[in-house]
Amino acid sequence: MPAMLLINPFRKVVGQDADIADVAGFSPAVAQRVRAFHASFSQYCPTPLIALHGLARELGLKSVCVKDESKRFGLNAFKVLGGSYAVARCLAERLNQPVQGLTKSQLHNTGASTAADKITFISTTDGNHGRGLAWTARELGYPCIIYMPKGSEPTRRDNILALGAQCTITDFNYDDTVRMSWNMAQENGYIMVQDTAWEGYEQIPAWIMQGYLTLAAEILEQMQTASIRPTHCFLQAGVGSFAAAVAAFLVAAMGSDAPRIIIVEPHAANCFYQSALAGDGKARAVGGSLQTLMAGLACGEPSTLAWSILKDYTTAFMSCPDYMAANGMRMLAAPIRGDQPIVSGESGAAGAGALHWLMCHPAAADQREALGLSAEASVLLISTEGDTVPHIYRSIVWQGAHADEEYA
């Protein structure tokens, strides 16, 4: 099935029918507090923003920049930002610590607190979120339990186990595994740190979304230093928390100058595309096995918090075949002469593959024009992960797996 793009019928315009106050929880001031917490870890360092001048020329664009999250905390993915900040806020609440000026040292479990000894974190993940949560729990001295959906890569499970967490691959799809984890949390008094929201469970997902603001604040700072104003931003969506957080920050920070947001999803789990297509403004879930190469995006039920933001501020929703992500991986790994190679995983390269299709495929001419992707466009991509499963990465980049006749 070819790619499908839908212009968002619900989009609001900042200054007309949308107010920046609507995204105040994702403002630069909030981002500064979140970033200060992350900076309290000795491993913190801003990840690089890489300008691909050769790719921009090849595609007929003014500029293309890629944020490389494979460098984040040595964990090969951005997810730790959300999980770690949510854990910090949960601990501050449980241990009666002030929210302002949170640091790693004040939250570390020294064994002297009875309240701290009763805390266990639990979550469902395809791999990256769980790995980040396990790392945070280890750094702060708390137990952690992770469940993964059916079909998850054993390599991702082993990465989590290596950080000292319990980790099991279940016989359920992602959404059903989330429900199982929630029931276990309720029965045992665990703290569930999940990056999707539903009615009655919204505070922790909101903190996770705020955790991603460190990444967004770094991007804005780096682009300002390079004198680049992004006009378009491609954001991958699973449950949508990452995409919504970045979109909300860009609107809060840039107002009417915020870039056009294009949401990218796999065909097998295109819940945001289907929600927009339904036309009534309500979130829609998609069912089935949700099997896709883009494992980090294999989520069938959108976060209610994410949908409320993306419905208002997204320009277009794009549903993509797996080969598009694979093509993005190869593009970034073997770039135009003079550009820096980027190791980008299956979910990380989805935006790059979508951009290439829009700029190069004859069938995409109308969509390209509708989005304003022209010689004056400055495009921002975020590679959210590196080669989190090396053998899959090599099969795609070295051996050409998941190719398609359109790119043959």
Q: How far apart are CA 293 and CA 261, in angstroms?
A: 23
Q: Say what the alpha-carbon torsion angle 151, 153, 157, 160 is, to the nearest 10 degrees.
A: -130
- Of the candidates 71, 79, 104, 311, the residue annotated as catalytic is 79
- Of the candidates 67, 68, 126, 322, the residue annotated as catalytic is 126
Query: To which residue do tokens 């947001």 refer?
Result: 261
Query: To which residue do tokens 């004198």 refer?
Result: 227
Q: Where are the alpha helices (DSSP H) in 123-239?
A: 128-140, 154-161, 174-188, 203-211, 213-225
DSSP 3-state helix, strand, coil percentages of the chain (rounded to 5)? 50, 15, 40
Q: How many CA atoms lie within 13 A of 334 on its CB side?
A: 8
Among 347, 350, 397, smallest CA distance to 129 is for 347
Q: How far apart are CA 1 and CA 328, in angstroms?
A: 17
The backbone torsions φ and ψ at residue 169, rounded to the nearest 5 degrees and listed phi first, read -90, 125
CA distances from 125 to 17, 35, 154, 265 (A): 36, 24, 13, 17
**DSSP per-residue string spanning 253-275:** HHGGGPPEEEEEEEGGG-HHHHH
Query: To which residue do tokens 């989590």 refer?
Result: 160
| Three-state DSSP state, 301 | coil
User: What pairs with residue 146 in β-bridges?
Assistant: 123, 167
Measured at the CA of 302, the angle between CA 295 and CA 284, to 5 degrees, comes to: 115
Active-site annotation holds for 126: yes
Q: How far apart are CA 171 and CA 148, in angstroms?
A: 9
Q: How far apart are CA 379 and CA 232, in angstroms?
A: 5
**DSSP per-residue string spanning 322-333:** HHHHHHHHHHHH
Active-site annotation holds for 19: no
Indicate which residues carry an active-site annotation.
79, 126
